[in-house]
């Protein structure tokens, strides 16, 4: 009976996570990767539980998921939102704490990062990622980053090959930076204040800063 109960609980969790991914407008292949459900079961789940409800149907995005890391650093607003989302992933446990440059020392570091990235998709971590994105969306209001961007960001930070989490040298807020950048890490507020130290009062942040 215990084995049956465990399998039932896991299957129920699988469908619950799939439903949250659908509500956050994740693509079918993303749901399949993180839940293990087949494409047919995902389509049936969407039709049975969402199309029959009174709310407007959610859009089903097709095509490839985001794959350009430069998206996260393209503008000041995107850099702020990316730092906020990464902070929430750290605080809620979707992203382990030691995935920045400090946690990648030693000859075995690339293998450790790659191994972690391969095991990243899971039901437990998927649930934490949903929580992080839902909080991020509530704080921002009109986010520039989609849930698919959040999935890609988590994978990118886990691999730590191009982007890493760091801390602002002035306020210690979590920021996402190019791993190979030689410039000191600063959040947008402190960076602008440093550049315009003698040009008036420093700007205020548009987004809350989360200490992880």
Give first-to-last CA distance, the chain, whole Å.
41
Top-ranked range on mean pLDDT: pick from 41-45, 146-150, 181-185: 146-150
Confidence band (pLDDT; 50, 70, 90) for 106?
very low
Residue 60 structure tokens: 């089903």
- Retrieve residue 203's tokens: 């700007």
pLDDT band at residue 204 using 50, 70 and 90 as cut-offs: low
The average pLDDT across 180-185 equals 89
64 — pLDDT class (breaks 50, 70, 90): confident
Sorted by sequence, the CB contacts under 8 Å of residue 5 that are 6+ apart come out as none
d(CA 17, CA 41): 13
Say which residue, 109 or 147, is predicted with more confidence. Answer: 147
CA distance 45 to 71: 31
Percent of the chain with pLDDT over 90: 55
pTM of the entire structure? 0.80
CA triple 100-205-136, angle to 5 deg: 60
Give the pair of three-digit tokens for residue 19: 């439903």
pLDDT at 201: 59
Beta carbons within 8 Å of 2's beta carbon, 6+ residues apart: none
> What is the number of residues in the chain?
212
Q: What are phi and psi of 175, to 5 degrees?
A: -130, 155
CA 209 to chain CA mean position, Å: 16
Express each pLDDT in 125-157 by its tens digit.
Answer: 999 999 999 999 999 999 999 999 999 999 999
């Amino acid at each position: 009976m215990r084995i049956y109960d465990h399998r039932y609980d896991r299957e129920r969790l699988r469908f619950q996570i799939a439903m949250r991914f659908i509500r956050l407008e994740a693509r079918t292949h993303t749901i399949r990767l993180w839940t293990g459900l087949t494409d047919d079961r995902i389509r049936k789940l969407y039709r049975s539980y969402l199309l029959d409800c009174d709310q407007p149907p959610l859009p089903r995005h097709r095509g490839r998921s985001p794959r350009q890391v430069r998206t996260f650093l393209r503008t000041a607003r995107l850099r702020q939102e990316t730092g906020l989302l990464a902070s929430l992933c750290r605080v809620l446990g979707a992203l382990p704490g030691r995935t920045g440059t400090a946690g990648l020392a030693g000859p075995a570091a690339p293998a450790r990062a790659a191994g972690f990235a391969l095991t990243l998709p899971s039901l437990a971590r998927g649930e934490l990622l949903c929580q992080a994105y839902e909080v991020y969306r509530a704080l921002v209001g009109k986010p520039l980053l989609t849930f698919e961007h959040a999935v890609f960001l988590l994978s990118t930070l886990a691999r730590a090959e191009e982007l890493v989490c760091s801390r602002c040298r002035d306020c210690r807020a979590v920021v996402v930076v190019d791993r190979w950048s030689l410039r000191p890490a600063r959040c947008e507020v402190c960076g602008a204040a440093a550049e315009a130290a003698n040009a008036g009062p420093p700007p205020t942040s548009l987004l809350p800063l989360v200490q992880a």
